[in-house]
Amino acid sequence: LTPAGVPVSAVSLSVQHPRGQVALGDRLVRSCTVAMGTGPLSFSWHHGGSATPLGTGSCLELRHAGDNDSGHYQCLVSDRDSVAKSAPLNVTVL
């Protein structure tokens, strides 16, 4: 008998810069957190609605933010039984 897992829920994003704004060329780090979920958890990062993931960890780092890095980012988190996604986070490269 396998115990039922806790579904992934309450996925949220944060960025180290106020209001999601970063200067051109600066380092940009986004973090994805999960309120609940039974592991192992897998993460995927998406930019501008793209189905192709940018990364697969709980943090996504760009060492030098460029013009093409502005836009909406979203984190998808999954476990064996469920998938949850964050609200989009807007990042502006100035």
pLDDT of 42 reads: 86
Cβ(3)–Cβ(81) below 8 Å: no
Instruction: Please give the chain's pLDDT, 94 residues, in tens.
Output: 334 455 555 566 566 666 778 889 998 888 888 877 667 888 899 998 888 998 888 888 888 999 899 999 888 888 877 788 888 888 899 9
The CATH number of domain 9-82, selected from 2.60.40.10, 3.40.190.10, 1.10.357.10, 2.115.10.20? 2.60.40.10
pLDDT of 29 reads: 84
Helix (H, G, I), strand (E, B) or coil at 38: coil
Residue 35, Cβ density class (10 Å: 0-12 exposed, 13-18 middle, ≥19 buried): exposed
pLDDT of 13 reads: 59
pLDDT of 32 reads: 84
